[in-house]
Amino acid sequence: MPHLIAPSLLSANFLNLEKDMEMVNHSEADWFHLDVMDGVFVPNISFGLPVIEKIKKFAKKPFDVHLMIIEPDRYVERFRKAGADIISVHAEACVHLHRSVHFIRTTGAKAGIVLNPHSTVSLLADIICDADMILLMSVNPGFGGQKFIQNTYTKVRELKELILRKNSTALIEIDGGVALDNARQLVEAGADILVAGNTVFSSEDPEGMIRKLKNF
Which of 35, 38, 132, 192 is catalytic? The answer is: 35
Give the three-state DSSP class for 200.
helix
- pLDDT score recorded for residue 145: 65
Please report, for the chain, the start and end positions of each structural domain, with discontinuous segments joined by +. 4-214
Q: Which residues of the chain register pLDDT less than 50?
A: none
Q: Are 23 and 204 in contact (CB under 8 A)?
A: no
Sequence-distant (6+) residues with CB within 8 A of 191 are: 3, 156, 172, 173, 174
Active-site annotation holds for 175: yes
Topology of domain 4-214, CATH? TIM Barrel (3.20.20)
Which of 20, 64, 132, 175 is catalytic? The answer is: 175
Sequence-distant (6+) residues with CB within 8 A of 40 are: 69, 70
- pLDDT score recorded for residue 142: 74
The dihedrals phi and psi of 182, each to the nearest 5 degrees, come to -130, -5
The greatest distance separating any two alpha carbons of the chain, rounded to the nearest whole angstrom, comes to 46
This prediction's pTM: 0.96
Sequence-distant (6+) residues with CB within 8 A of 72 are: 89, 90, 93, 94, 100
Residue range 107-139, pLDDT digits in tens: 999 999 999 999 999 999 999 999 999 999 999
Gyration radius of the chain over CA positions = 16
Active-site annotation holds for 38: no
Q: How far is CA 199 from CA 55, 97, 176, in A?
A: 22, 32, 10
- pLDDT score recorded for residue 147: 86
Strand ranges for the chain from DSSP E: 4-7, 32-37, 63-68, 86-90, 110-115, 133-137, 171-175, 193-196
